[in-house]
């Protein structure tokens, strides 16, 4: 057992994961979790089959009959207890995120804090699941809408936020009265086991939740497909690539199930002549290099006005050359490893294509990290391109920032919107008119549009999601809870007459 594997084992034990969970069901039949820090195995986990996924849905569906009748504030108590468990075990769970997903220490801690924050949000929400009273044209009638639990919610999550995105969905689904079935990324099964163990502690403290309320299915694509196709699953919330979304959406539509899709993002930012250059450098550096470029909201395209290009871009080039790349556990490291060799190969291929298109590449070289020989460490790359061409029009899940000059804001907005994704966006300006134009209907076409900050780092209070090839789903805050419930419009006649709407007459007798 390597030192990292031993550390992971110790963390899992402290988080309440039974050692038996790390035993494969049969020789060669398990999922191997590898740390991106050194590429070595951390543990082997039994892989669920499609039959296991079906059984998990059956258990959750049986729990739905009881859970939907529990008062919403009482359901909120379960989520409050989950938040307490996360607070008590924040450091250990964050350390496991670092080991299995490769995030630097502060980002691992930040991800668990995001889980805590969404629990707080959902607890308050449990007393605010309210509909409208609607004006009616009929005398002595009252019209209103009510919201009811929807049913089993399947959560399919990705490696880059291995636990936070589950929490966005799980916290809201549970307070809305829905059982949950979670299929985590095959690359991060250990963080899922640990999180599920913490939820198990919360359930034990809660005391009377129905059996089967929360299920974990650690398996491959075939297990995920079983969740997508099961008619008892009312909503599938899936985070991943646009290709995954295109495969999932038609199957859900075929059975009229709900889809909440959080897919890719080729996010852009516009830098105007009035931009605060110091602020812009800091914001762009984090947005483009944070999480080693492996966020769906990572900044990948930067449009810089001619007047500020020569002041801004050389400073960014220096930042890229000096940023600390290395073991994510080491103090001072800002950029950790890519998740695996496939990600590193995709980055190298995109940079080669950019060079062939006339791009000037700064950075992008492999970085040797002592003691982490099997990890894929690459210096983030800044690429100056003559125009928005080639790989700039596609999402590469790696720390590559493409930079293009522009002369007119209309031109910049057109370039910004000329990609298939529509997740997150930014403008850097001190001109109120430019800011408002970017946020208007004729500005950014993304689900998230920011002014004087980068496109990444969303808070849980706002709805998260995007348009076009990003899938159109919304998770986390605002009124995203409505996706997890069904709406009924109710009209009550408390009089003796029977007036019909629109003045229709139908008198009998």
Task: Note the pLDDT tens digit of each residue in 179-196.
Answer: 999 999 999 999 999 999
Active site residue 475: no
Other CB atoms within a 10 A radius of the CB of residue 463 amount to 18
Residue 262 CB-density burial (10 A; 0-12 exposed, 13-18 middle, 19+ buried): buried
Q: What is the pLDDT of residues 427-440, one digit of tens each?
A: 999 999 999 999 99
Q: What is the pLDDT of residues 72-126, one digit of tens each?
A: 999 999 999 999 999 999 999 999 999 999 999 999 999 999 999 999 999 999 9
For residue 27, pLDDT beyond 60: no
Residue 451 in tokens: 């002014």
Mean pLDDT of 233-255: 97
Residue 507 in tokens: 């008198």
For residue 24, pLDDT beyond 80: no
Predicted local distance difference test score (pLDDT) of residue 20: 83
DSSP annotation of 442 reads T
Predicted local distance difference test score (pLDDT) of residue 223: 97
Please, how many CA atoms are within 13 Å of residue 27, restricted to the half-sphere of its CB? 0
Express as a percent the part of the chain with pLDDT over 70.
99
90-101 and 189-206 helices, crossing angle to 10°: 160
Dihedral angle, C-alpha 256, 448, 187, 45, nearest 10 °: -60
For residue 19, CA distances in Å to 11, 128, 181 come to 11, 40, 22
Residue 321 in tokens: 């050359």
Is residue 39 within 8 A of residue 53, CB to CB? The reply is no
Residue 418 in tokens: 């000329």
Residue 297 neighbours by CB under 8 Å, 6+ apart: 265, 267, 287, 423, 424, 448, 455, 456, 457, 458
Residue 288 in tokens: 């483009």
The sign of the torsion formed by the CA atoms of 271, 277, 280, 284 equals: positive
The catalytic residue among 119, 176, 272, 296 is 296
Q: Would you say the pTM of this structure is higher than 0.75? A: yes
**Across all residues in the chain, what is the average pLDDT?**
96
- Beta-strand ranges (E) seen in 54-122 are none
Predicted local distance difference test score (pLDDT) of residue 22: 80
Active site residue 262: yes
Q: Of all helices (H) and strands (E), which one includes residue 31?
A: strand 30-34
Q: What is the pLDDT of residues 347-393, one digit of tens each?
A: 999 999 999 999 999 999 999 999 999 999 999 999 999 999 999 99
3-14 and 90-101 helices, crossing angle to 10°: 150
The catalytic residue among 262, 395, 434, 475 is 262
Strand 233-239 and strand 152-156: pairing? parallel
């Amino acid at each position: 057992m390597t030192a990292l594997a031993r550390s992971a084992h110790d963390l899992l034990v402290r988080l309440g994961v039974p050692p038996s969970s790390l035993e494969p069901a049969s020789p060669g039949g398990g999922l191997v979790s590898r740390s991106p820090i050194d590429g070595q195995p951390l543990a082997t986990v039994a892989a669920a089959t499609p039959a296991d996924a079906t059984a998990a849905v059956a258990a959750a569906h049986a729990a739905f009959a009881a859970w939907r009748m529990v008062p919403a504030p009482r359901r909120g108590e379960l989520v409050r207890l989950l938040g307490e468990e996360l607070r008590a075990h924040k450091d250990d769970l964050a350390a496991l995120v670092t080991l299995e997903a490769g995030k630097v220490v502060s980002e691992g801690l930040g991800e668990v804090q995001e889980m805590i924050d969404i629990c707080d949000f959902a607890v308050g929400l449990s007393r605010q699941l309210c509909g409208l009273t609607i004006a009616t044209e009929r005398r002595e009638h009252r019209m209103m809408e009510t919201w009811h639990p929807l049913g089993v919610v399947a959560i399919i999550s990705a490696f880059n936020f291995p636990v936070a995105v589950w929490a966005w969905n799980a916290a809201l689904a549970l307070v809305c009265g829905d059982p949950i079935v979670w299929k985590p990324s095959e690359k991060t099964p250990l963080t899922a086991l640990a999180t599920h163990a913490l939820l198990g502690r919360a359930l034990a403290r809660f005391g009377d939740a129905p059996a089967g309320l929360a299920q974990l299915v650690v398996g491959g694509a075939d297990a995920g497909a079983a969740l997508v196709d099961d008619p008892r699953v009312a909503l599938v919330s899936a985070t991943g690539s646009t290709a995954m979304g295109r495969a999932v959406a038609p199957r859900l539509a075929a059975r009229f199930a709900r889809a909440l899709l959080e897919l890719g993002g080729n996010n852009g930012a516009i830098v105007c002549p009035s931009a605060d250059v110091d602020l812009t450098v800091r914001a762009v550096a984090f947005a483009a290099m944070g999480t080693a470029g492996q966020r769906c909201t990572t900044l990948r395209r930067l449009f810089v006005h001619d007047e500020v290009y020569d002041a801004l871009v050389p400073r960014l080039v220096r930042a890229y050359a000096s940023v600390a790349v290395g073991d994510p556990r080491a103090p001072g490291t800002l950029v950790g490893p890519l998740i695996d060799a496939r990600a590193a190969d995709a980055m190298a291929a995109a940079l080669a294509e950019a060079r062939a298109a006339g791009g000037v590449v700064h950075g992008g070289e492999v970085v040797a990290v002592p003691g982490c020989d099997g990890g894929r460490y690459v210096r983030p790359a800044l690429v100056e391109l003559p125009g928005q061409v080639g790989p700039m029009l596609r999402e590469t899940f790696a720390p590559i920032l493409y930079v293009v000059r522009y002369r007119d804001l209309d031109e910049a907005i057109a370039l910004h919107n000329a990609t298939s994704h529509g997740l997150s966006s930014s403008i850097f300006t001190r001109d109120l008119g430019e800011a408002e134009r970017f946020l208007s209907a004729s500005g950014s076409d993304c689900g998230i549009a920011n002014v004087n900050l980068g496109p990444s780092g969303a808070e849980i209070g706002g709805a998260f999601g995007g348009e076009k090839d990003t899938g159109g789903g919304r998770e986390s805050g605002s009124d995203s809870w409505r996706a997890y419930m069904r709406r009924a419009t109710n009209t009550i006649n408390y009089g003796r007459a029977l007036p019909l709407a629109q003045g229709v007459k139908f008198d009998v007798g």
